[in-house]
Structures are given as C-alpha cells and as structure tokens.
Amino acid sequence: MLPLFRFVTSSLRSMLRGGRSYYIWIAFLLAWIALGGAAYLHQLRVGFVATNLVDHVPWGAYIANFTYLVGMAAGAVMLVIPAYVYHDHALHDVVVLGELLAVAVLTMCLMFVMVDIGRPDRIWHFIRFNWPVSMLTWDVIVLNGYLALNAYITGYILFTKFCGRTPERKKYVPFVFLAIGWAVSIHTVTAFLYSGMGARPHWNAAILAPRFLASAFAAGPSLMIIALTIVRDKMGFPLKDEALNRLRQIVAVTMLINLFFFFSEIFTELYSFKHHAASMRYLLFGLHGHTTLVPYIWSAVALDVFAAIVFTTKALYRRPAVLHAGCAAAIVGVWVEKGMGLVIPGFVPSPLGEVVDYIPSFTEFCVSAGIWATGALIYTLLLKAAVPIELGTSRLEPEAAS
Amino acid sequence: MAKDTEHCAASSSGDDVTHGLVDQRVDDSGTRRTFLKVAAAAAATAATEGCGIGAPTGEEFLRQHYKTLTPDDKKRIFALIEDEVRGRSGVTIHMNDPAPIDGVEFAYALNLSVCNGSRRCVEACARENNLPDDPEIRYIRVLEMEKGSLEFEEATPYYDREKVPAEGKFYMPVQCHQCDNPPCVKACPVQATWKEPDGIVVVDYSWCIGCRFCVVACPYFARRFNFVEASIPPDRINPTQGYLSNRARHKGVVEKCTFCLHRTRTGRLPACLEACPTGARKFGNLNDPNSDIRKIIESKRVYVLKEELATLPRFYYFFG
Amino acid sequence: MRLPWLAYISPRLGATVLLPFASLAAGCNQSEEPLHHRQLPKGGTSSVVVTVEARTPLLSTYPCSRCHFSPNREPDPRERKFTEFHTHKVLNHGTQGGWCYRCHTKDDIDKLHLQDGTLVDFDHAYEVCGSCHGDKFRDWKAGLHGLTTGFWNGAQVRRSCPNCHDPHSPAFAPMKPERMPEWPRTAPAETHAMGPEEGESEGHGKGH
C-alpha cells in the first residue's frame, strides 16, 4: 500500500505546486464553482421553478450540455484508436492526457445528470434499474463503466510509471480496446435516448447516432489540440508536431462528415415539408414568429463551416493562431448544434402543437458554468499530477520502493 | 333499455350506494429487508421537516418501492401521510389503495360531436385530484380545433371566449391515454411508473426521481412535473386519497391522470366524466360486452390519437 | 427471467419476441394485424341498474292543470306570440312546425303524447323525444348518448332528454367555458394579454 500512498501524496503535492497564473486560474475556477454551488442550492430549495423548464420543454441546458459532453468524452477515444490500433507512436505519448480528459468530462456528464434530477435524494432508487428497456438506464450504466475504464487505464499507466516500471501490456491493452468500443457505445446510447422517442419526430431519425459520433469526433480532438498545446507550452511536455497534425487530420474529416449528416437531415425534413418538419423549421427559420434558436443555429453552422475550411486548408492550419481559432469554432459550433440546437427543437412544437420558447434561466446558467468550472478544475489537477509522472520528474523514491 | 331498469327518482350522486369493491391491495412478494424497515421506523420517529431545502423526512427517504410494500408497511405509511397532511393543513384525509379489480380493464371514450369545450372536466379533475392552481397543474388539456383539421399545430388550448362552442371549431380534450404500450413506462430508468392489470399507468410518487424522461417520451403531453412544492387551500383538499392517484405530491416528481383510480376502482365513474355537461365522456370495463364503452367501440367509428406510434391507447375518440 | 416489460407489450408479441430488445423488435411484427384492434373478450358480468333522472321536480309550473283547466283556459291550438304566460319560451324545434299540442296533450294537459297518441307522463318525456329521434334514442338507451353518473358497473343515474335539451329549443345551449390554461411560466409577459381572436390571426393563438 505504501507506493500507492506515495503516488497519491506525490500527486497532491504536484497539484499544489504552481506559479502565480496557475493559482489565479484555480481561484477563478473555484469562484465559478462556488457560484454554481450556490445556484444549485437555490434550485434544490425552491424546486425546478428556478429553471426556465416547463412541461412543454422538460429538458434544457443541463441535458444539452450533458449530450455534448458525452460526445467530448467519446472524442477522447480518437487519440486511442490511432495510438493502439494503428501503432501511431506520435499519439502514444499523449493518449493518457486524452483519457484524463475523458475522466474529467465524464465527471461533468454525471454532474449534469444529477442537477437535472428533480429528486437527487432518491438517486439510490437506481437499485431498481429498468433494464433493458430504458435508454436512460443504459446511459447511466455505460457512462459509469466508461468512467471506471478510463480511470483504471490512466491510473494503472501513471502508477506503474511513477513506480519506475514499464506498464505491462496485458494489464491494460485489453482494457484500451474495450474502452474504444465503449466510447462508441456511450455516445450511441446517448443518441438512442433521443432517437428512440417516437413522440418526438425531430429526434426519431436513424442519422442521429452517426451524427452524434461525427460531431463528437470533431469537437473532442479539437479540444485536445488546444489542451495539448497548453500542456506543451506551459508545462514543457515534449509534444511532437506529428501528434497535433494527426488530430488536425481527424477533425478535418469528421467535421466534413458532420456537416454532411446535418445537411442530409435538413434536406429530408424540408424537402418533403410534412408536418413533422415543424421542429426543423422552428430551428432554422422560426415557427409562428418564434425565432429564439434561429441566430444560434446559423452561428453554429457558420462556425462549423469555418472550422472545416481551416482544418482542410494548409495555408490556414499552418498558422497556430488560425488553427486554434478553428478548434474553438469546432468546439463552440458543435456545442450549439448538438446541445441546445438538437435538444430544444425536439420539444417544439409540443406533442399537442404548442410553441414554447426556452432560454436557460440565470440559475441554470450559473449551475452549468459551475459544472464546466469543476470539469476544468479536475482536468487541470489531473494534468498537474500526470505530466510530471509522464516526464519522469515525479518518481517513487528508491527507499520507499524497497 | 328494458322497462324494469328504468325508474323515476330524484337525482342521486350515488355516494350512498354501498358496494363491495373496496379492497386493500395485498402484496404479492412479502419479502423485504428487515434492516431497512427498522431503519425507516427509527428514522421516522426522528423525522423532522428537513433543513429548509425541502429535504425529505427519514421515513420518506428510505421508503421502498410501492411493489415491495407489505400491507403492514402500507398501513404505517398511510398513517404517517395522514398525520403529515393533518399537521400541515389541518385536514383529515383518508388514504387508501384500492386494488385493480379482477377481470376489469378500463377504457375511455369521448364523443367529439357533442364536446363543447366548456372545460368543466378540467376543473373537476383539478378538484378531485388535488391539483394546484399556482403554478397551475392540469391533467386535461382541451384543444380548440379547426373544423376540417385534426392537426394539432392548427389547434390551441388557449381559447378564452364568452360562449363555447365557437363557430367553425370543435373541441378535443386530451389527457393520459393509459396506453397499453406506454412509451413513458419504457423511458423510466427506475421503474417508478408502470402499467397496472386494469390498464392504468400509475406513478409511485415516492419512487420517482424526477428525471422527466417520461415527460419527454409521452406523445400526448399527459405528464406533469412538480416545479414547486404545491400547496392546496385546505378547503379544496379532497380528503379521499389514493396512494397511486390523488395523494399529495412533493416537488420534483412527475404525476398524471389515473382515470381517478381511487374512484373507479371502487366502482365510481371518473370525476371528469361526471362533470361533463354534454355527456361526451364514456367510461367502463372493456372486458364487459354490455358496458357503455364496449358498445361504443363496437357500434361507433372510434379512433385513437397518433395511432401510428403504436402506443395502443385506452382512450378512444368518436363522432356520434 | 422475469420480463416485466413484456406485460405491457401484447401477449402475442411477448410470446413471439424473446430477445432482450423486445420493444425494439416489436416493430417488425406489427404488420400481422392492426395494433389498434383489441381482442374484445366475450361474456362478462354487467350489473348496471340505470335510473332516469326525474323531470317533474325540475318543472316550476307543474302540474300544468293548475292553470290549464276548463273552462278557465280553453286550449288554443293557434300558433301565436305569447304575451301573458310562457313568454320566455322560444319554439325553435325543427322546420316541420307544430305547436304546443304536437307533444302536449290537449285533453290531458299534465301528460305528453307520442306521435301515435299514446299518453306518457313528463318523467317519461324521453319517449316523446324518441318517437321522432330514433337514432339518438337508441344511443341514449344504450348509454352512448347523454350524461350518466354514478357507478360504471352498478347504480347509474341518466339525464332525461329535456334535462339537458330545452324541448322547445333543443340545441345544446352555448356556455361560458372555465378559465383557460395558464400560459407556460416562462412566456414573455406581453403575450399574456393576447386574446383568442388576435391569436387566431397570427399563429393560431400559440403559446409562447
């Protein structure tokens, strides 16, 4: 147990070590977390009246963020596939950082589910799983499983490196391959949550799961490019340009596929122009004078197109600033398009034809921001602990090992 | 109608008629972890009103799923609920849990030719089922439809007129259809909602976690979420309360129409039906060939809403 | 293996579908027969006893013979405007005309009569209505038309025709509806003022 104890204490020490800007960043995140916590307590006290959700629009910002973040977590697998399936050594070095991202993001996912539940005190009622018919049950199972898998893989690799040993392949590679399949499954199941709803024609489409995966594999690696650049510049991680270039290639393809899927869906809905297209009309053009989502979705499309252009044009992606702008565009564009841009139109019009607009309330905004800050804090701390181990500067003292 | 069944008499509400249908539901499993029972009892005695964030009492927190409650548990829980309501509002209520009647499957039919959109059903339902007014929860939504259209996008529930029916309109009340293939039940991750043998889809308000996936799944907009802790003026509380129907709901859980099962399982007709001034609503036992509902299904051109979703509603519409 | 979710899929599907994804696979079997057709069982135990709500307690001027007796009030079969009594009565019952004594009985004013002359009392007024409106009468007798309250399989009270329809002007009277549903909590305040007519002109009175 002693090495494990040392592993933990050493990691905690790494987390506390940092310059002035590091502490400002941590304080900034903690402030948001405190605000989010206060907002959540308010929501607990008064009930969901603190949100802008109504019976017509029973899910909003929380579930939109949840959906997006499940994709983010699945997107981390895009590092793993080339590294382990195709033995791409450039990506091998950064796989652990990608899986740590998955851990942080999954924590956010579970937090978004928790804050969306009207009775969090009854979470233990999951002992009566409605399996296998409820997609939400599936989702809870696969998300927790994926979290456990990633925590195990990263924990094992980092711990053995901390002890100065080489990770044994047979102790983690099978789990890596399991995680690859699992990553696809978490986002598929999340898509099925929506596409299984016969009552909601906007979601009831087979393209949803492929579209979810395509957008996830665009947004996830985009975030990784930014995160890895920061790790390289701020923490001195020896990152090969080849690794970033590989990620850039992935986004170039997935973003184009994502745009194609989205276009296919728009065409199918609008060309036939049946009543079921009302949600799509609401999203793109507004319905009965309700145009809440129109500016958002067109901004998202613009951002997605911009990202696709950047990632495929050499003159643009060569410049780091433009590449990072493209990454940000992909991250935000997919966030809008797959978050609010997918969840809300499913509720408009309501099953009885009512058009009710939804914009998150201040409470929902604060709670969501708090959860994002929590995720950022977790990822920051995990990187802070993991990078020195990867670099070999944090090692188990020889006397402790013996 | 045969001559011998008709007899002139003053109107009677039927309340005084004795009937043998009230029956305490007997549990089928009987197995239950004793330690939880002990813990629940201990917690219940120490129960307080929570700490300001609407935290549940210890008993409520540990209360088991409806289907695992033994008759003794129910007796204890009902007494606690009765005490709680008495303490909060001074009203003495009678908690009960009528069982589904053997061989009975309920169904509903609504005559769109005579429904005049008066919304009497909506308000009678609210009173019967202890639905709050602020913010408003209503199980029935009456849609004002354009003649010539069954499209909901052309309809509105927000009509406010001096007189109904209005020229060129017809009215379609929508409530829970008690589907035989209920998408809401499939959606629930914790089995807090299920279909009873008599066809009614119920919610265990003490088990629901408030995820609202069932609200998302329902094609008929029949489920309602408690956005606040509801309060009903004491003089409007209906003291006859069913554990699975009209008892007090706390904030953060989902509720819905149960065809007034605390009434219908004791033989009475639903409150919405009795309140209808036009007699548009018909209810009865689908398994009885002589019931009103069977005669309607067999002799009228009935249809169900959103048939293409294969939800198999127990709520039929017809023009008669 | 306990399969609770099969209970609400029909037994037919439950028996044929053994995969865990029964609910997903169920879609394949739907072409066999329309799902909205239920198996309606035969037999049953109906013990309905219907009481027709009395008419006479609701009549303020009954019995009619208090005023209408010879020779004080000789029956006047002429169609005319009432100026002294029954002034609120409007006859708007079909286009075939007919005056008081089409239904009321000249020689026995406390009784009504069928088209064949059979006398019936006011509590059986539905027989009079039914002698013309055969299809509605049939539905009413079967419990398909009109308001019936009480017990779905026991003592029921059914409204007699004239207790809902004014026999002299039988179209069901329009009424003031109960209040309209609350606008969704998050709707902008200005839309609350939107009346139904405005609503229809733009967007069919959609909620915001």
CA-based nearest residue in chain B for residue C197: B159
B79 and B195 assigned to the same domain: no
Q: Which pLDDT tens digit goes with each residue over C105-117?
A: 888 889 999 988 8
Is C20 a member of any domain? yes
Q: Confidence class of residue C7 from pLDDT cuts 50, 70 and 90?
A: very low
Q: Confidence class of residue C71 from pLDDT cuts 50, 70 and 90?
A: low
Q: Which residues of A touch C203 (CB under 8 A)?
A: 288-289, 355
Q: Looking at C2-140, which runs of residues are DSSP E strands? A: 49-53, 111-113, 119-121
For residue A141, the domain's CATH number is 1.20.1630.10
Number of domains in chain B: 2
B58 and B162 assigned to the same domain: no
B51 and B135 assigned to the same domain: no
Number of domains in chain A: 1
Enclosing domain of residue C111: 49-79+87-164
Which of B67, B160, B225 to mutate against chain C (most C CBs within 10 Å)? B160
Is C154 a member of any domain? yes
Higher pLDDT, C154 or A363: A363
C19 and C121 assigned to the same domain: no
Q: Which residues of A touch B183 (CB under 8 A)?
A: 197-199
- pLDDT exceeding 90 applies to what percent of chain A? 79
B138 class by beta-carbon count within 10 Å (0-12 exposed, 13-18 middle, 19+ buried)? buried
Q: Which pLDDT tens digit goes with each residue over B30-43?
A: 333 433 443 444 34
To the nearest whole Å, the CA of B184 is away from the closest chain A CA by: 9
Number of domains in chain C: 2
C73 and C12 assigned to the same domain: no
- Nearest CB neighbour to B14, from listed C30, C149, C183: C149
C110 and C67 assigned to the same domain: yes
List, as ranges, residues 124-153 from B with C-beta within 8 Å of C.
135-136, 138, 141, 146, 153
Preceding omega of B165 cis (within 30 degrees of 0): yes
C19 and C53 assigned to the same domain: no
For residue B213, the domain's CATH number is 3.30.70.20
CA-based nearest residue in chain C for residue A290: C208
The predicted pLDDT at position C186 comes to: 84
d(Cα B115, Cα B153) in Å, to the nearest integer? Answer: 20
To the nearest whole Å, the CA of C142 is away from the closest chain B CA by: 6
Enclosing domain of residue A347: 2-401
> In this complex, is the C-beta atom of A132 within 8 Å of any C-beta atom belonging to chain C?
yes
Between strands B141-146 and B281-285, the pairing is unpaired
Is C183 a member of any domain? no
The predicted pLDDT at position C42 comes to: 59
Measured in degrees and rounded to the nearest 5, phi and psi for residue C113 equal -145, 150
> In this complex, is the C-beta atom of B229 within 8 Å of any C-beta atom belonging to chain A?
yes
Degrees (nearest 5) of the Cα angle C109, C113, C115?
Answer: 145
- Nearest CB neighbour to C208, from listed A130, A133, A357: A357
* Interchain contact, A118 vs B56, CB within 8 Å: no
Q: Comparing A211-225, A263-277, A352-366, C61-75, which segment has the lowest mean pLDDT?
A: C61-75
* Interchain contact, B229 vs A53, CB within 8 Å: no
| Token output for C156 | 């029921």
> In this complex, is the C-beta atom of C36 within 8 Å of any C-beta atom belonging to chain B?
yes
- Nearest CB neighbour to C40, from listed B11, B154, B294: B294
* Interchain contact, B252 vs A118, CB within 8 Å: yes
Between strands B141-146 and B169-174, the pairing is antiparallel
**pLDDT at residue C2 greater than cutoff 90:** no
Is B10 a member of any domain? no
Is C196 a member of any domain? no
* Interchain contact, B289 vs C144, CB within 8 Å: no
Which of B290, B294, B304 to mutate against chain C (most C CBs within 10 Å)? B290
Residue the block writes with tokens 């609407």: B54
Quick one: which of A393, A5, A339, A357 has its CA closest to A190?
Answer: A339
Q: Confidence class of residue C38 from pLDDT cuts 50, 70 and 90?
A: low
The average pLDDT across A354-365 equals 95
- Nearest CB neighbour to C41, from listed B114, B154, B287: B287
What pairs with residue B203 in β-bridges?
B193
Q: Name the stretches of chain B with pLDDT < 50.
A: 1-52
Enclosing domain of residue B86: 34-92
Show which subunits contact A, needing at least 3 CB pairs below 8 angstroms: B, C
> Are C197 and B167 within 8 A, CB to CB?
no
The predicted pLDDT at position C96 comes to: 64
Q: Which pLDDT tens digit goes with each residue over A378-392?
A: 999 999 999 999 988
C1 and C104 assigned to the same domain: no
- Nearest CB neighbour to B216, from listed A41, A58, A354: A58
Helix axes A95-116, A208-235, angle to 10 degrees: 120
Q: Confidence class of residue A91 from pLDDT cuts 50, 70 and 90?
A: confident
To the nearest whole Å, the CA of B32 is away from the closest chain A CA by: 14
Quick one: which of B167, B171, B161 has its CA closest to B114?
Answer: B171
Query: What's the complex ipTM?
Result: 0.93
C74 and C134 assigned to the same domain: yes
Is C146 a member of any domain? yes
Is C126 a member of any domain? yes
Is C198 a member of any domain? no
> In this complex, is the C-beta atom of C206 within 8 Å of any C-beta atom belonging to chain A?
yes
B301 class by beta-carbon count within 10 Å (0-12 exposed, 13-18 middle, 19+ buried)? exposed
Give the residue from B66, B92, B118 where a domain finishes. Answer: B92
d(Cα C158, Cα C53) in Å, to the nearest integer? Answer: 6
CA distances from B214 to A148, A199, A243, A340, B194 (A): 28, 11, 44, 20, 11
Average pLDDT, chain A: 92
Q: Which residues of A touch B217 (CB under 8 A)?
A: 197, 199
Is B224 a member of any domain? yes
Quick one: which of A344, A65, A68 has its CA closest to A203?
Answer: A344
The average pLDDT across A345-372 equals 96
List, as ranges, residues 98-127 from C with C-beta within 8 Å of B.
123-124
The predicted pLDDT at position A197 comes to: 94
> Are A50 and A43 within 8 A, CB to CB?
yes
Is B4 a member of any domain? no
Is B27 a member of any domain? no
To the nearest whole Å, the CA of A172 is away from the closest chain C CA by: 31
* Interchain contact, A351 vs B219, CB within 8 Å: yes
C158 and C59 assigned to the same domain: yes
B60 and B184 assigned to the same domain: no
Higher pLDDT, A185 or C45: A185
Q: Which pLDDT tens digit goes with each residue over A191-206?
A: 999 999 999 999 999 9
Task: Kindly compute the dihedral angle of the four CA atoms of residues B169, B162, B132, B253, in this order, to the nearest 10 degrees.
Answer: 20
* Interchain contact, C50 vs B5, CB within 8 Å: yes
B84 and B48 assigned to the same domain: yes
Q: Which residues of C touch A355 (CB under 8 A)?
A: 203, 206-208
CA distances from B12 to A147, B21, B269, C153, C158 (A): 64, 20, 14, 16, 10
Is C3 a member of any domain? yes
* Interchain contact, B209 vs A118, CB within 8 Å: yes
C145 and C56 assigned to the same domain: yes
* Interchain contact, A49 vs C185, CB within 8 Å: yes
CA distances from A64 to A109, A173, A233, A336, A344 (A): 10, 33, 32, 9, 8
